[in-house]
Structure 1
Amino acid sequence: MKPCIRQKGRGKMVTRYIVLINALVLSAISMQLQAQQVPSLEELLQQPTATDPARIEVSTSARHAQSAGKSAQVTHIVTDEEIRRFNLRNLIEILSFFPGLYVSSDTSYGYLSARGIGRPGDYNSRILLLVDGTRVNDNIYDAGMIGNNFYIDPQLIDRVEYSPGSGSALYGNNAFLGVVNVITKRGNKLQGGQLALAANQRDQLDLSLSYGIRHASGHEGWVSLSRSQQDDIAFADINAPEPVLAQQTLNNDLNHKLAASYRYRRLQLQMAGVSRTREEPGALMADPSRSDIFKIKNRNYFISLQHSHSLSDQAELYTHLSTNGFDLTTFTPFIVPTGEIRRYHFDVTGRWTNLDLRLSYTPEPSHHLLFGIDGQHDQHQSYQFSIDDIIPVLAVSSKNNRIGLYLQHGWQITDNHKFISGFRYDYTEQNVREFSPKFGWIWQLTNQQSVRVSYGTAFRAPNEYEQNSNLYNELPVPESELINTLEANWQAQLAHSWSVSATVYHSQVRNLITGNYGASAIVQFFNDRAVEAYGLETTATKTWQSGATLQLSASTQRARYKNDQMGLTNSPEHLFKTQYSQPLWRDDLHLNWHMFATSARTSPRGQMPGYARHDILLSWQLNPKLHIVLGLKNVFDKAYVDAPLPTGVPLQQPERSAELSINWNFL
């Protein structure tokens, strides 16, 4: 994360490919030795099965496990099989598969736009990000990191659930445009030692080593160490001056991660940590002919403990405790009048603890009650802005407490009709008082068709950074953002293994918080004009007996300021996505094609044309212990730009890249 200042080797690649090829040869030898072995129970448990989408168990939309067909809110899923076959290497690439989500990058951070709303420079604070139910948005920016610096590596992910729409009735702050829950794998899918290697033509090498165990007594767990490095990163700014372009070999990104999980019956202990160093040459504002290194250091972690206890046949108590840490330091060089280069230091520290208590009660089969209370204690929130870490410019330190009470009632009126109602009240020491209701109705037309209608509200309170930046500027603190959303969904299982879904929605947004990026180094925030958004999201899925699968999604979304109908920046009106997987002559070899298309987007500097990009990959499951993917991303080398930053500078997005990944279970 950067402070509020508007500045901004192919030889090694050959060596890395040699390492990967050697690993491939060793893996192939192992395959020959194991080819005749009978699959174990653990290996059989890892094999995918065909499931009716309405019967898939999800937990994000209702905050408790239930079949997708019983939830008033639509939940989209990306599975571990899709992550492997399409070689999705970080959460950015995974989220790009979901309907209505648009992702972009400035090579340092990933940015999300949902249903046409994505404010430039926002670090995804309007999407609540969870890991197995643990809130991981930080307590300074409310940021959700989705790039290579996300806590969990893709090979550890069992599935990712995305529930679009207003979610504050259950989750409170940040569940403004939707909730993303990353579900990690259980011990049966990570049994033994696993080595994951991935490299691409953009000089990126990812290495992960994990070990998992699952015992008949019920104990299971895994631990993972990983390293991701990308060197010689191509500059996104196509107009970067020549002195900067000459230093491309110094443009790099390095991430180290540690993650672990332990489960025993109803108990889960989990932890994860990320250490990141990002270095990027950039031109100096006072003299663009001179350049220096802009640097970011980031350290994040969380530790969580979850337990569920059956009080009776009708009641169950859930307890969830987590503690989190967020440390960020940025170094921004600048020129003083004497001609010397000095550095702005921006140091951010956050420490917070979350406690969630939920009581699930089913007094009779037709009624289900969920009562909960959760709180967040921000024991430390501080940031300091200085010159060379000596001359202070701004220093802020504070604490905060948040508490939320929520209740949800599900009433199965008849076999075909279900009514869901809920509300939540949030209170903070910083004068946030928000009431968030939600109502939903499910009508099961037939065994194959259902209709659901829901209305809900959500809020996003100004984060610590927005509040204190305004206080420093002697400006009033912005009011909380508010949104209310009405949506209707139709789902159907059709003949010939087709599944289709259509969602129409209408949202009204007030008090959208926007930054005024003027001449001052400290950004000023204000509540922008009211926004109206409406759209249509459609999906279609087809499976064949041969094992081939096709997934289509199309989104039409219009987000406009209500007073003048001007469109929002960073807001595509049309999105189209396709995933197709086809066995080639044998069940263990698949051809995988992914296509992403978007319409034009606007930025403060003009319009950016639409584009379509294609990825084609071969995935080969040599045996239950070895999986290889080889292919091309952005096959036709489509050049396209995005403008996710407040400056509106068009940034070049990734060009064509050869991809290779190996996942080997060696024990």
Structure 2
Amino acid sequence: MKKTIPFVFATLFGFETASAQTTSPDTLRVISLSEVVVSANRVQERKADIPQQIDVLPAAQIRLQNPMNTADALVNTGQVFVQKSQFGGGSPVLRGFEANKILLVVDGVRMNNAIYRAGHLQNILSTDANAVDRIEVLSGAGSVIYGTDALGGVISILTRNPQLADSTTASQPRVRTNNLLRYGTAAREKTAHTDISLGWQKFGLLTSITASDFDDLRKGRRDYKSFPGFGENLRYVERQDGKDVVVANDNVNIQRQSGYRQLSVLQKLLYRPSASQQHLLNVQYSTTSNVPRYDRLQTYRNGALRWAEWNYGPEKRFLASYQFQYSRPTALFDLLRFTPAVQKVQESRLVREFGKDLRDENVEDVQVLSANLDLFKQLGEHELRYGAEVTRNEVESTGTRVNIVSGATTGIATRYPNGSTYATTGVYASHRWEITPKLILSDGLRFSTVKLKANFNPEFFKSSLLNSDQSSSSLNGNLGLVWMLPAGFRVSGLVSTGFRNPNLDDVSKTFEQNNGTLIVPNLDLKPEQIFYREAEVSNTIEGKLQVALTGFYSTLTDAIVVRPYTAPDGSTTTVYNGQTFTTVANTNTGKARVYGFSGRFNAALIKHWSAQASVTYTKGRDLSLDVPLDHIPPVYGRGAITYQSRKLTAEASMLFNGRKGVADHSPSGEDNLIQNTPVGALGWQTFNLRTTYQITRSWSVQSGLENILDQSYRPFASGINAAGRNFYLTVRFER
């Protein structure tokens, strides 16, 4: 440690005497009210005109943070909390909502599908951080524009596009390539990335490939004084000579059976025959190795490790979309964008108990067809945005019990009813009126319908669960006001409604929880409804300072939470795969509330120096049972100082989380109290250093030291300790 810190400081600041070089156009910014975003209404508009909090993570910031994956890119902002049940995981939380209560969107196409669960998700990892152009985080209900699932907000991920040649070099293609090799010590990470963009005057293509290999993650060595050894991996299970054997860990800080591999590929074809017309074909593919579910593999029963295997099988995501954009003004629109898409997602769970030769394999294949139509029209002082969306999910779910010795197979209960469908439709319109240059009114409406059909196999389910047909509709609206005051002050307010319709995972899932209970189907679920309020006061000195304080308050009715379940025949237990379980089910509670505030600070200091800080505080409660609501993180945030010159960018930062006691955890089990200390989730902070140095026009090197003090900690609701001290080194070649 004594040798490491001086080395990193030398890396950060020792090269400053080198000669100057022109800065890349994609440099870090302090702040600008004229910044353009697309997530609020699906078309470009000034961030200052939008009454809802939107945080933007541009490519330059992602590059400086140099994250292992997209989930870590969000963590490093300090403005999004992320939960992890395993190293290959990452479940963002917005405004106290997580998983299927926030919406993930990639290049305008919704990622959420019929089997997005209410617990913790890792689907955001299927997007490659090295191919991302920017991430926009819209906090708060977004159902008017995006429909179901956007209760807590929207994370919109925009990947890079091909770059066309300009008119002065039309005879020569524009060639751009980016390549990197990265190594990190905490998980012996090896990442290689390459992309190439070829652009002519009207036609361009972009190919991007990233491959990563992560070994078992090492946690920090510096334990909490009150809980020495918390999170240590004392033993694990190996298969030796055809038998399961418990092995004593020779290094208890290495979380054995947590590593995985990942491959991501992106291909885009762009054709722009004229200034007003554009065609874009977008193909993405991501796959992993088996991803060990670390918290399950460290589950004990009667003093012994319970599982020999508990893996998510290879997680595969395929996306193909076509986007047509037309921007010549007509009577109905000034801009039209049409985006049909197809997605194919495969998820699986491979589970085998210690000492047994029978492995249960549940595989889910989801195909999603979707189409979005978005239009924009300027009418004097009024702006009109309107459109429609349709989606259809088809789910195939299989269950197989495999004898790993003989290879014999038998059928078992599927996780979901096989052959189920889930479809949504929606039409929306939003309007903005610039009453004066200082006073802007926004409003919008959306009408949505959702239909779900599930057919249960009578071999594994009771006759009362054979068929389920559900349909619902929802009308949602919002109203917002932005008031520009003298001296850079700005006041905004927003009220909006939103909904989330129960999907296949809510209605029909059968699954054993960490606390030993069994979730069973409940066909009586109704849509969740939210009434969201937000108010913000900010002050901006263009290019120099922004300070903002945002308060939010949500009232949730018919909230879907996990509760003890009594079947129609009066039973509270059931036999599943040969074992008897106490049953729980997703249930509509009467009312819940979530409220809190977030603060953000961004300032240019003296020449080359800037400072950033953010903090978020959230409280949530199930008012029907007067108990804490699940998925509510403790207070969290970030502070950083950044130095930037023509050749060097360096950042020193601190990430922090507050403590969350036992009494503040939800009784549903979703907060994973069993995975934390006897007094709940402990507070923590990490100190980090990062640098980027441009050696030549084409070559650059990045290095950093994360969690400098090597703190051992486990974020709230997570099932694995975070990385200990991690030194990384990245070499880039670009031209």
Q: Name the aligned partner's letter for residue 683 of structure 2.
A: G
Q: Name the aligned partner's letter for residue 369 of structure 2.
A: T
Aligned to 2:89: 109
Structure 1 residue 179: deviation in Å?
0.8
- Report the Cα distance in structure 2 between the residues aligned to 1:64 and 1:156, rounded to whole angstroms: 21
- 1:135-165 residue CA offsets vs partner (Å, 9 max, x unmatched): 1223322689986973432232222111100
CA spacing shift, 1:290–1:422, aligned 2, 3 Å: closer
**What's the TM-score, normalizing by structure 2?**
0.77
Checking the alignment, whether the CA contact within 8 Å between 1:485 and 1:506 is kept in structure 2 is yes
SS in 1 for 2:710: coil
Answer with 99-108 or 324-333: which moved more.
99-108
- Report the Cα distance in structure 2 between the residues aligned to 1:546 and 1:528, rounded to whole angstroms: 55
SS in 1 for 2:100: coil
Checking the alignment, whether the CA contact within 8 Å between 1:506 and 1:533 is kept in structure 2 is yes
Q: Does 1:428 find its partner at 2:450?
A: yes
Aligned to 2:530: 483
Q: Name the aligned partner's letter for residue 354 of structure 1.
A: S
Aligned to 1:592: 651
Structure 1 residue 436: deviation in Å?
1.2
CA spacing shift, 1:52–1:219, aligned 2, 3 Å: farther
Checking the alignment, whether the CA contact within 8 Å between 1:129 and 1:180 is kept in structure 2 is yes
**What's the TM-score, normalizing by structure 1?**
0.84
- Report the Cα distance in structure 1 between the residues aligned to 2:731 and 2:349, rounded to whole angstroms: 34
CA spacing shift, 1:619–1:625, aligned 2, 3 Å: same
- Report the Cα distance in structure 1 between the residues aligned to 2:451 and 2:102, rounded to whole angstroms: 23
Q: Does 1:180 find its partner at 2:227?
A: no
SS in 2 for 1:89: coil
Checking the alignment, whether the CA contact within 8 Å between 2:635 and 2:658 is kept in structure 1 is yes
Supply the RMSD in Å over aligned alpha carbons. Answer: 3.2
Checking the alignment, whether the CA contact within 8 Å between 1:252 and 1:278 is kept in structure 2 is no
* 1:35-46 map, 5 Å: 46=25
Structure 1 residue 490: deviation in Å?
1.8
Aligned to 1:391: 411
Match of 1:463 among 503, 506, 511: 503
CA spacing shift, 1:70–1:528, aligned 2, 3 Å: same
SS in 2 for 1:607: coil
CA spacing shift, 1:484–1:478, aligned 2, 3 Å: same
Checking the alignment, whether the CA contact within 8 Å between 2:41 and 2:385 is kept in structure 1 is no
Structure 1 residue 448: deviation in Å?
1.9
CA spacing shift, 1:644–1:108, aligned 2, 3 Å: farther
Match of 1:135 among 91, 110, 114: 110
Aligned to 2:732: 663
Checking the alignment, whether the CA contact within 8 Å between 1:90 and 1:146 is kept in structure 2 is no
Structure 1 residue 197: deviation in Å?
1.2
For structure 1, list consecutive stretches of 5 or more residues without a partner in the other structure: 1-23, 119-123
Structure 1 residue 532: deviation in Å?
1.4
SS in 1 for 2:712: coil
- 1:474-508 residue CA offsets vs partner (Å, 9 max, x unmatched): 63342222211111112221499221111111111
* 1:165-176 map, 5 Å: 165-176=140-151
Aligned to 1:575: 636
Aligned to 1:193: 177
Aligned to 2:405: none
Q: Does 1:72 find its partner at 2:51?
A: yes
- Report the Cα distance in structure 1 between the residues aligned to 2:24 and 2:271, rounded to whole angstroms: 19
Answer with 312-321 or 217-226: which moved more.
312-321
Answer with 318-327 or 535-544: which moved more.
535-544
- Report the Cα distance in structure 2 between the residues aligned to 1:161 and 1:464, rounded to whole angstroms: 28
Aligned to 1:121: none
Match of 2:65 among 62, 72, 86: 86
* 1:192-341 map, 5 Å: 192-201=176-185, 202-215=187-200, 217-234=201-218, 238=231, 242-244=235-237, 246=248, 251-265=258-272, 266-280=278-292, 282=297, 288=304, 292-295=308-311, 296-312=313-329, 315-334=334-353, 340-341=356-357
Structure 1 residue 390: deviation in Å?
2.1
Tell me the percent identity.
17
Checking the alignment, whether the CA contact within 8 Å between 2:692 and 2:702 is kept in structure 1 is yes
Checking the alignment, whether the CA contact within 8 Å between 1:148 and 1:255 is kept in structure 2 is no
Structure 1 residue 316: deviation in Å?
2.2
Aligned to 2:384: 369
Checking the alignment, whether the CA contact within 8 Å between 1:258 and 1:273 is kept in structure 2 is yes
Q: Does 1:411 find its partner at 2:433?
A: yes
- Report the Cα distance in structure 2 between the residues aligned to 1:493 and 1:235, rounded to whole angstroms: 40
Aligned to 1:5: none
- 1:219-247 residue CA offsets vs partner (Å, 9 max, x unmatched): 22310122111123348993656244647
Checking the alignment, whether the CA contact within 8 Å between 1:99 and 1:537 is kept in structure 2 is no
Checking the alignment, whether the CA contact within 8 Å between 1:91 and 1:148 is kept in structure 2 is no
Q: Does 1:558 find its partner at 2:619?
A: yes
- 1:353-378 residue CA offsets vs partner (Å, 9 max, x unmatched): 1101122122x220111121110022
- 1:88-140 residue CA offsets vs partner (Å, 9 max, x unmatched): 2211122124465211212232122222344xxxxx21221112212122332
Checking the alignment, whether the CA contact within 8 Å between 1:283 and 1:292 is kept in structure 2 is no
Q: Name the aligned partner's letter for residue 269 of structure 1.
A: L
Checking the alignment, whether the CA contact within 8 Å between 1:402 and 1:427 is kept in structure 2 is yes
Structure 1 residue 441: deviation in Å?
0.9
Checking the alignment, whether the CA contact within 8 Å between 2:507 and 2:522 is kept in structure 1 is no
- Report the Cα distance in structure 2 between the residues aligned to 1:535 and 1:239, rounded to whole angstroms: 34
Structure 1 residue 274: deviation in Å?
0.7
SS in 2 for 1:653: coil
SS in 1 for 2:486: coil
Q: Name the aligned partner's letter for residue 71 of structure 1.
A: I
Structure 1 residue 333: deviation in Å?
0.3
Answer with 317-326 or 506-515: which moved more.
506-515
Structure 1 residue 345: deviation in Å?
0.8
CA spacing shift, 1:289–1:373, aligned 2, 3 Å: closer
Structure 1 residue 601: deviation in Å?
2.2
Number of paired residues? 613
- Report the Cα distance in structure 2 between the residues aligned to 1:387 and 1:516, rounded to whole angstroms: 29
- Report the Cα distance in structure 2 between the residues aligned to 1:359 and 1:273, rounded to whole angstroms: 29
Structure 1 residue 294: deviation in Å?
2.7
CA spacing shift, 1:569–1:514, aligned 2, 3 Å: closer
Q: Does 1:642 find its partner at 2:715?
A: yes
Checking the alignment, whether the CA contact within 8 Å between 1:139 and 1:351 is kept in structure 2 is no
Structure 1 residue 252: deviation in Å?
2.5
Aligned to 1:150: 125
Match of 1:344 among 360, 363, 372: 360
